[in-house]
Structure 1
Amino acid sequence: MSGKDDSTTSPVELGHNTSNEKRNSITGDVVAHDNRGSDSELQRLLSTRHVTMIALGSSIGMGLWIGSGASLAGSGPASLFLGYILAGTMIWCVVHSIGEMAIMYPLPSAFVQWSGKFVDPAASFALGWSYWFSFVITIANELQAANSLISWWTEAVPIAAWITIWWAVIVLVNIGAVSVFGEIEVICSSIKFGWIFVVIISMSVISAGHGAKEAVGFRYWNEKPFKNGFKGFLNVMPTTIFAMSGSENCGLVAAETKNPKKSVPRAVGSIWLRLSLFYLLGSLMVTINLDPDDDRLFGSGGSKTTASPYVIAYQDAGVLPLAHMHNAVVLLSVISTGTISAYAGARTTMGLAQLGMAPKILTRADKTGRPWFALIPTFLVGGALAYLNVSNSGAEVFGWFSNLTSLFTLFGWGMICLSHIRFRTAWARQGRTPEELPWKSWIYPYGAWYGLALCILLIIVQFYLAVWPLDDDPSPTGTVEGFFANYVSVIICIVLWLGARAYYRGTWYVKLDSIDLDEGRRFYETDEEAPPVKGALGHTKKALGYIFN
């Protein structure tokens, strides 16, 4: 960090591309450039197919496949489903804000650097380091989830051994070439995407009374839609936010994409598909097949709490082959989410280093684009945290980590929306029009303001839940320990922000008139590409055509 006024920034801080670009002398459009990301040693090796599939599958992990069981047990079917709807509307708005900025400014750590450019360097520092910690927590949580899944098959192998094995897998995927990482994630996302259709169809059939189980339908919705009242509904939100965390990774991969103007809008356009198929229909299948009072649900406090709720439903219906297949797909999902979190964590520290907020050596990458110095600390911290599961129950560790991650995620999503609002305000104030943007979000400004307001509201909600949790320990010690275990993320963010603010001094925000809107920007050739189609119907026609291209 440097102690200068925050209203000025250097080209290096903003990730300005100083590579050998050739511009049209009249229009300023880039007509040729080298293969590096903006002012970094990353390589532009990812295609539209990679970005689209990473956007579709990056956040499908433990939160949905396993965490939905804990939410169902604590809050009831209606609360679970409504929680996913609320969280879904928020991430939909956040991803639209990401899309507009990622095309203009495809920087290694994306929203971290956008925050420094449009909001405040201190905010960028707090967001970058808290988000890096969120990524390593996610690695740890997915590793402990893998152990829980394996335990459904066998407990013969020690927990620490399984954590080590899957940690090694995450490391190996990330130390390969970036293009190899992209191909692996395409395969994993394709499997997840295809399997959700199997889950929806099979569990609908089971709910109708086929198999060894009698017809259930919406019995549990009628009998116990809301457990623990309104507080139970609020208690769902940390898990739903944790389940959707990672959706913002499509912004991080833009720096390593050949043509963000083509790939990022497609990734943004596919967000509705993930929200409807994975989260809404996926959670609905849980609510119509499982009793929220079933003590086998993960986190319910019962003696058998390692299985995914979908696996329990298949077991009860007597279709064990589907139970085994589902457990295998979930295992693949959580490891995939862990690998993407390692990727994102390394790119976040690279962006911080470009801003002068981390050691400069973290900006280095080898000739194939692997950021070794940023990957190593991410691997080590994420792996070390995973070993907490050795001495604590999987459900307990999941509760800690999901609460921590969801608060970091809300901070990040809120900063993305705020950066987008300030970007568009600066754009208009400096005399530029929306038509000059390479791609425009059709829900701006309402989407960005809605996303920001909901993030702030949910941070307040989680403060309430940290002080008065569902399983409130009446002792003073229990209350204090519970509060810090569930709300320490916010304290970390505040300390980081105020510490950086004291170091930077100056104003509390970047002055809109002083922002150089061309620093860090990628220019594009004028092409005949049709404007993005508005609305869900238009995206429906296009989505299936490009998902697997």
Structure 2
Amino acid sequence: MTSNQDQQHELKRTLKSRHLFMISLGGIIGTGLFLGSGYTISQAGPIGAIISYLVGGFIMYLTMLCLGELSVAMPVAGSFQAYTSKFISPALGFTVGWLYWLGWAVTVALELLSSGLLMQRWFPASPVWMWCAVFGVVLFVLNALSAKAFGETEFWFSTVKVSAIILFIILGGAAMFGFISMKGGQAAPLFTHYTTASLLPHGITGLLLTMITVNFSFQGTELIGIAAGESAEPEKTIPRSIRATVWRTLIFFVLAIFVLAGLIPYQQAGVIESPFVVVFDSIGIPFAADIMNFVILTALLSVANSGLYAATRMLWSLSKSDMASPALGRLNKKGVPMNALLLTFAIALLSLLSSVFAKDTVYVWLISLAGLGAQVGWISISASQLAFRKQYLANGGKVADLKFKTPLYPVLPAVALTLNTVVLLSLAFDPEQRVALYCAIPFTIFCLVYFQLRVKGKAVLD
């Protein structure tokens, strides 16, 4: 009887450190790097682009330090939603959880749509919806099998992306310094594109706008916390995964941007489809465009795979706290919350339909909310760490007993909270992203009111 109850209510701890590391990378390395990096270089200039990624990486590092302490002390699926509910406010935890769930569900739809469009390069006569359906079913099945099956798939998806970036840095760097000849007999640029460009070609405004975009491109690292509830030996795997993710992500992103900006003049970087394709082609790699199309396709499917997992576990966490239907908290024999997975997949499919029937209204609103969900999650992580440590000390806990500690408390968590809040508020200064705030405010008000009327008194926070 007990084992059956455990099966119905507890997730299985089958994810290893390598899975956690690649899951977090899977949520980060996507079109933001492979396609959006050209925009960043064109707006901020070569040096400004590197500054943008360093600042974004710094914010990520501080946030992950906060997440590390929380997720090792309380390794639960749902992560920061549970922490926000327990240490700050159940109403805010409810709102953060649903916003984050909706954000990833919509992101799955966006990645499937983008994947279908990429397939048009090789199969121009095929309908986009067919590829959306094929990829969607494959990802659903992988997530339905078990957490280990998802983790293993994500490991190989991310391996392809990381290998492509490492190869790019090696070959691009060799071309930049003249170790590899470029097509057409072009001379090695060395640091020419850095020395001839102005420090900030579009001023401080251009730098700030790219920093918003760059910071969003780092989001996905918080998936380590989401997966904590299914990780084996969380006190060992989570700190190891966080450190590996932060430093390797920074190295991959900054070195890739350094090489890109060194090989492509910033004036041209913003008007090309993918700067990676241009660099591979200029080095003389055959089928450069097709290779990068495959890598970008892998990146998109990887993000969709991670998103489907994250949204499903968030829904499960909400159910465990009685903030969603109890049916969404039921697990199958494999330890997968199938009802939560089915609902998440259904919302993703509805979002796909809205991209056809309500592209300029509903779909735009949903995409805006999708980008906002992770940022709100980061704010809640840093705020929860401050509240957790304060409560922990008040209850007689000793800092020395914590298996993972955020250093320089409360300074670093406070800096993380401040910087993440500034990033959120800075959306108001970007005309293209401002709609996210317009959508988030009524959504937040609705969630808070709904919580007070229908959920308050039933929520379980233990």
Considering the TM-score relative to the shorter chain, is it more than 0.5?
yes
Q: Does 1:315 align with 2:281?
A: yes
> Aligned partners of 1:188 and 1:433: how far apart in 2?
41
Return closer, same or farther for 1:169/1:285 CA change in 2, 3 Å cut-off: farther
1:276 to 223, 229, 250: 250
Structure 1 residues 325-368: Cα deviation after superposition (integer angstroms, max 9, x where no partner): 33322211220111010000000011111122111100011011
Match of 1:475 in 2: none
Query: Is 1:416 equivalent to 2:390 in the alignment?
Result: no
SS class of match (1:385)? helix
Rounded to whole Å, the distance in 2 between the matches of 1:212 and 1:153 is 25
User: Counterparts of 2:284 and 2:311 in 1: how far apart (Å)?
Assistant: 41
Asked whether the 8 Å contact 2:77–2:226 carries over to 1, the reply is: yes
Matched-pair contact (CA < 8 Å) for 1:62–1:334: yes
2:235 maps to 261
Residues 13-412 of structure 1 correspond to what in structure 2 (within 5 A)? 40-208=9-177, 210-212=181-183, 214=186, 215-221=188-194, 222-223=196-197, 225-294=199-268, 297=270, 300=271, 307-387=273-353, 404-412=369-377
Please list, as runs of the form range in 1=range in 2, the aligned pairs for 1:478-517 lying within 5 A after superposition.
Answer: 483-484=434-435, 486-492=436-442, 494-496=444-446, 498-500=448-450, 502-503=452-453
Contact 1:56 1:274 in 2 (8 A): no
Partner residue in 2 for 1:10: none
Query: Which structure's residues are more often helix, by fraction?
Result: 2
CA deviations over 1:247-275 (Å, ceiling 9, x no partner): 10001111112211111111112133333
SS at match of 2:183: coil
Distance in 1 of aligned mates of 2:243 and 2:73: 17
Q: Is the CA contact 1:207–1:216 (under 8 Å) kept in the aligned structure 2? A: yes
CA distance in 2, matches of 1:448, 1:208: 41
Q: Distance in 2 between matches of 1:212 and 1:236?
A: 31
- 1:369 is paired with a residue whose SS is coil
1:129 Cα deviation after fit: 0.7
Alignment match, 1:433: 398
CA distance in 2, matches of 1:357, 1:49: 32
CA separation of 1:69/1:156 partners in 2, compared to 1, >3 Å: closer, same or farther? farther
Per-residue deviation at 1:218?
Answer: 3.7
Question: Against the structure 1 CA distance between its residues 285 and 153, is the aligned structure 2 distance closer, same or farther, given a 3 Å change threshold?
Answer: farther
Q: Which of 446, 449, 458 lines up with 2:411 in the alignment?
A: 446
The Cα shift of 1:142 comes to: 1.9
Shift of 1:311: 1.1
Residue 463 of structure 1 deviates from its aligned partner by: 1.1
Alignment partners' CA distance in 1, 2:76 and 2:15? 14
Secondary structure in structure 1 of the residue aligned to 2:430: helix
Gap change, CA 1:505 and 1:314, over 3 Å in 2: closer
- SS of 1:413's equivalent in the other structure is helix
Counterparts of 2:345 and 2:183, CA distance in 1: 45
Matched residues in 2 for 1:242 and 1:263: separation?
25
Answer whether contact 2:260 2:276 (CA < 8 A) is retained: yes
Identity value in percent: 26
Following superposition, the deviation at residue 124 of structure 1 comes to 0.4
Counterpart of 2:348, as a letter, is G
SS in 2 for 1:270: helix
For residue 464 of structure 1, report the CA deviation from its aligned partner. Answer: 1.9
Shift of 1:390: 5.5
Counterparts of 2:393 and 2:51, CA distance in 1? 37
Seen in structure 2, the aligned counterparts of structure 1 residues 503 and 401 have a Cα distance that, compared at 3 Å, is closer
AA partner of residue 369 (structure 1)? G
What TM-score do the two structures reach when normalised by structure 2?
0.88
AA matched with 1:491: I
* Residues in 2 aligned to 1:336 and 1:290: alpha-carbon distance in whole angstroms: 28
Task: Answer yes or no: is the 8 Å Cα contact 2:166–2:252 preserved in 1.
Answer: no
1:459-518 per-residue CA deviation (whole Å, 9 max, x = no partner) reads 22111223xx6xxxxxxxxxxxx743x433431453245425643899xxxxxxxxx9xx
- Structure 1 residues 388 and 282: alpha-carbon distance in aligned structure 2, compared to 1, 3 A threshold: farther
| Contact in 2 for aligned 1:66/1:308 (Cα 8 Å) | yes
The AA in structure 1 aligned to 2:259 is: M
CA deviations on 1:284-305 (whole Å, 9 max, x unpaired) are 232222333338x5xx4xxxx6
Q: Is the 8 A contact 1:50 1:182 kept in 2?
A: yes
Unpaired runs of 5+ in structure 2?
none
TM-superposed deviation, 1:35 = 11
After TM superposition, the score normalised by the length of structure 1 is 0.75
